[in-house]
Amino acid sequence: MKRKTKYVATGAVAAALVAVGAGVSAAAGGFDSETPITGDALVKASAAALAATGGGRVTETEVGDEEAYYEVEVTLDDGRQVDVAIDHDFKVVGTKTDGGDRRGEDDSDD
């Protein structure tokens, strides 16, 4: 009977260590929870993002972004990167260029 108790206790300790490790990793940004956009949604989100930026190339996508339903990263011809926030209906709800935080604003100098 003691042997069974030992295994249960060891399993509990191992589970606790995994949970603590996962928490530390998540807090440090160790989990990559970014799910890329796929299929028809990728086509529609990319088109919306490229229309919003006036061109460039899509370099990264994400479903379930903290700012909007989709996020599409576009790299412009001059090397700047623009994150385009898009809602569930594929409407642009904001942009952020090169680390700036100006969602909902156009970053151009017009």
**pLDDT tens digits in sequence order for the chain, 110 residues long:** 455 544 444 444 444 333 434 333 333 343 446 899 999 999 999 999 999 999 999 999 999 878 899 999 999 999 999 999 999 999 999 999 985 444 454 444 43
Q: What is the pLDDT, as a whole number, of residue 34?
A: 82
Q: What is the pLDDT, as a whole number, of residue 70?
A: 97
Structure-token pair, residue 22 = 């996962």
Residue 85 to residue 58: CA distance in whole angstroms = 13
Q: What is the pLDDT, as a whole number, of residue 4?
A: 52
Q: What is the pLDDT, as a whole number, of residue 16?
A: 39
- Collect all residues with Cβ–Cβ distance below 8 Å to 62 and sequence separation of at least 6: 34, 35, 36, 37, 70, 71, 72
- Collect all residues with Cβ–Cβ distance below 8 Å to 70 and sequence separation of at least 6: 37, 41, 45, 61, 62, 63, 85, 86, 87, 88, 90
